[in-house]
Amino acid sequence: MTSPIYRRIYAVVQRIPAGKVATYGQIARLADLGGHARQVGYAMHALPANSHVPWHRVVNAKGEISIRSEPLAAEVQKQLLEAEGIIFEKHSKINLHRYRWQTGSVKIR
DNA sequence: GCAGTGACTAGTA
DNA sequence: ATACTAGCCACTG
């Protein structure tokens, strides 16, 4: 069920402040996964719907929503982000320079 | 235990 | 600028 890796990923995602986003690779680095971003996406997919983890604040390195298997969830994610003040550009992209969570060199474990 | 899968990323063309 | 490829490795059947 919830492996240690998953819980570490969720712990990092929960640190993302409202109105900010983080990339999969960023989460992987902060969670000491060695930059294995795919596992972050996998963990998000396994996340139960009733979780309080702000999964919608996680986007890919291009600033786009990456959900392939659940296109409906992508719409939900977009609306949740817009509700937090994040403005989407063309092709449902967001400006990472403006909205990316600035974690600096602080690692979260 | 092995093979297939994937909410990714960085590189190359 | 976009499109394709290889590498990555936990999870699933």
Band of pLDDT at residue A107, cut at 50, 70 and 90: confident
In angstroms, the CA of A3 and the C1' of B1 are apart by 21
Neighbours of A39 (CB within 10 A): 19
Q: What is the pTM of this model?
A: 0.93
Footprint of strand B on the protein (CB under 7 A): A 23-26, 37-42, 44-45, 47, 55-56, 58, 60-62, 65-69, 73, 77
Is-contact A58 A24, C-beta < 8 A? yes
In angstroms, the CA of A19 and the C1' of C8 are apart by 30
pLDDT of res. A1 = 64
Is-contact A33 A39, C-beta < 8 A? yes
**Each residue's pLDDT tens digit, A44-93:** 999 988 899 999 999 999 999 999 888 889 999 999 999 999 999 989 99
CA distance A13 to A21: 9
